[in-house]
Amino acid sequence: MNIDRYDHTATVLHDGKVLVTGGRDLGVSIWNSTELFNPLTNQWTTMHSMSTPRCTHSVALLPNGRVLVVGGFFSTSSESAELYDSSTDSWAVTGNMKNQRSYHTTSLLTSGKVLVVGGSFGPHADITEVY
């Protein structure tokens, strides 16, 4: 990777490339940067950044190939969400979750919706949401 990071996510896209989003360094920096790994060339490429720095977030690869990034932590837990389109290397802010979350999980349901479960640092982390 071009930036050392932890508490990030790594998502295998439909084309086999791996999108790495957010995270933090060993100091106090939390990243909004994204990188793309191409396993065929063994190379990393810096992509456009998310609008919000975040770590301890979660992602779901949607059936249309877009990547949904939800929640995470910056100065507090977040309810914000963004969509990444790898065909245009662009981010779009989308509707917020109902509750702030970090350290949570997401699962793509057969309906194409995303189940968001658990987390911490929020008053409603025990509530599940379908997004």
Residue 113 has pLDDT above 80, yes or no: yes
Q: DSSP characters for 5-73?
A: -BS-EEEE-TTS-EEEE--B-SSS-B---EEEEETTTTEEEEEPPPSS--BS-EEEE-TTS-EEEE--B
State the average pLDDT over residues 85-92: 97
126 CB burial (10 A radius; 0-12, 13-18, 19+): exposed
Q: What is the β-pairing status of strands 114-117 and 58-61?
A: unpaired
Query: What percent of the chain is modeled with pLDDT above 90?
Result: 79
Model confidence pLDDT, tens digit, residues 1-11: 898 999 999 99
Q: Which domains does the chain have, with CATH numbers?
A: 9-130 (2.120.10.80)
Residue 108 has pLDDT above 90, yes or no: yes
Residue 125 has pLDDT above 70, yes or no: no
